[in-house]
Amino acid sequence: MNFLKSHVLVNGLMDRVGLDSATSHRQSPLHPVSGVVLGVTALLWGVILAVNAPGQLSYDSVVQLNEGRTATYLSMHPPLMSAVMGLADRVIPGTALYLALSSALFFGALALLINRTARPLPTMALTIAACLTPPVLVYQGIVWKDVLFANLAVLAFATLETFGAPPKGRRYIAYGIACLLAALAALVRQNGFVVILFVALAIGWKEYVRVASAKLAIKALRTVGAVLCAVFFSLGACSLSNGLIRVTAVKQQSVVGLGLLVLAKYDISGIIARETDIDLSILAERGVDTAKFQDAVRQSYTAERLDNPLNPHSSEIAAAGFSHLSPAEITQLWQQLILSHTRAYLAHRMAVFAWLMAPPEPGRCLPVHIGIYGPEDLVHSLGLKEGVRPSDQALYNYSTHYFGGPLMNPTFYVVVAVLLIAYLLWRPIEGSAVMICMLLSALAFVGSYLVIGIACDFRYVYFLVAATISVFLYGAARIPVPNPFKGHPKRGDQANSPRQID
């Protein structure tokens, strides 16, 4: 009896928040697939390609293009993006084709989310306004793994929401595509694994609400099975993709190992900057002047970013000190200092995260990047033209009007994402569960930088930005607007209205 009551309670709770279904009176009539909306979305994609092509390239972008062209993956960047850039480069030399493919992922996701809308004209107006802000207009033209990761992740959830419905065959195909996109996203950013988890949770929830059985145990087993299958399928796709890259690579080294070393050195520097009584006997044994080393670390350290461009001399001295240690010894020192100076470590981590989420000087956190810059030898060997075009400068001048404003502030997107989640729980619409999972995955992704953050650049939170914009536009297209000239449905009508499965 208690088991049955608990099952009724769970179903009642889902009915209350609407994550399993949405009553038909809550859903405004949706127009069929709108050719006008799709056309406007395609036009916006074309405009962004026209003003950015062949793309805005930074040091990282140039290095990754060279890796893709030579199939030699030796940087700390995950190799998938470099490999994709190499494939596109073989078709059309440079980054123009890659840029078209990357941005197509984002605009394809938008098209899936807003093409069926209750209000085509307002939806188009909001979409145009959103796409003319720097987070879309400029960022979709930057060749960064952060942008590719965000686009893959948003498309994964958009596919799941749009096609993850009966009939069974189509639903399972949508699940597979969403898991594959999530796996690719996880291979583009080192901390992107959270996307796999939340895509799997969204799939599990969809399966939970579709089971007609009255037994909670059966529904729970089916849900857990769906989640595990989604995770294992995604991990299999990751393994297969990594295997293909290894087979085709001329040379490759561990990305995880390089990333951990960078993070370890930064955390060690943050602890040294906050403590005076530090045991650095391991460095003293290597002949390093530990007093001079600590002074250099304190002068070069900043919570703003790992590499302090304002004090390169001290940075070089600190780097020289670390060079006396092997990777294993650096890791050992890292763990030792975290355990013995936990308070300093936590203060360092909080300061770094604060700079990311609410930078005191936003202009120092690379709000946008324009032009083509990189190692001079690579730029010339790749056939790129270094510098800033007049159109790039115009984009930057336009973007400066947003610097310091809410649309370039990560905390603003956290607040909006939380409000969207709360609203979708309170006033659910079709697809609420998937959209909530996308926002939660973006928040979890940003939260991971509390532990692994090394700089305050806006690009690190771009997945949250893209997800929040996408869910906002989805809600604008789907959330019904009350008509003051029509009476509210009676309570009995609400209770007897047909239900739509989410």
Assess whether the previous peptide bond of 29 is cis (omega < 30° from 0): no
Confidence at residue 171, expressed as pLDDT on a 0 to 100 scale: 85
What are the helix (H) ranges across 323-360? 327-340, 342-357
The values of phi and psi at residue 88, to 5°, are -65, -35
List beta partners, residue 74.
none
User: 444 exposed, middle or buried (CB, 10 Å; 0-12, 13-18, 19+)?
Assistant: middle
Task: Round the CA-based radius of gyration of the chain to a whole number and report it.
Answer: 25
Tens of pLDDT along the chain (502 residues)? 444 444 444 454 444 444 544 333 344 455 555 677 888 899 999 999 999 999 999 999 999 999 999 999 988 889 999 999 999 999 999 999 999 999 999 999 999 999 877 778 888 899 999 999 999 999 999 999 999 999 999 999 999 988 877 676 788 899 999 999 999 999 999 899 999 999 999 999 888 887 766 577 777 888 888 899 999 989 999 898 888 888 888 988 877 788 889 999 999 999 999 998 898 999 999 888 989 999 999 998 999 998 876 666 677 888 888 989 999 999 999 999 999 999 999 999 999 999 999 999 998 999 999 999 999 999 999 999 999 999 999 999 999 999 999 999 999 999 999 999 999 999 888 788 999 999 999 999 999 999 999 999 999 999 999 999 999 999 988 876 555 445 544 444 443 444 344 5
Q: Is the dihedral of CA 147, 201, 110, 25 positive or negative?
A: negative
Contact 480, 28 (CB under 8 A): yes
Give, as one character, the DSSP assignment of residue 142: B
Which residues have a Cβ under 8 Å from the Cβ of 35 and sit 6 or more positions away?
Answer: none
Contact 148, 429 (CB under 8 A): no
32 three-state secondary structure: coil
Give the length of the chain.
502
List beta partners, residue 247.
none
Confidence at residue 499, expressed as pLDDT on a 0 to 100 scale: 39
Judging by DSSP bridges, how do beta strands 499-501 and 21-23 pair with one another?
antiparallel
Q: Which of 498, 499, 476, 482 is nearest to 117 (CA)?
A: 476
Which residues have a Cβ under 8 Å from the Cβ of 1 and sit 6 or more positions away?
Answer: none
Contact 495, 42 (CB under 8 A): no
Give 3-state DSSP helix, strand, coil % of the chain, rounded to 5: 70, 5, 25
Q: Which of 193, 209, 91, 195 is nearest to 437 (CA)?
A: 195
| Alpha carbons 359 and 107: distance in angstroms, whole number | 29
Distance, C-alpha 81 to centroid of its chain = 14
456 three-state secondary structure: coil
The DSSP result for 362-404, as a single string, is GGGG-----SB---HHHHHHTT---B--HHHHHHHHHHGGGTT
Looking from the CA of 138 toward its CB, the CA atoms found within 13 Å total: 25
Which residues have a Cβ under 8 Å from the Cβ of 328 and sit 6 or more positions away?
Answer: none
Q: Long-range contacts for 89-94 (Cβ within 8 Å, ≥24 apart)? A: 89/65, 93/383, 94/54, 94/382, 94/383, 94/384
Which residues have a Cβ under 8 Å from the Cβ of 438 and sit 6 or more positions away?
Answer: 153, 154, 157, 198, 202, 467, 470, 471
List beta partners, residue 72.
251
Report helix angle 35-52 to 96-114, nearest 10. Answer: 150
Looking from the CA of 416 toward its CB, the CA atoms found within 13 Å total: 20
Report helix angle 79-91 to 145-163, nearest 10. Answer: 90
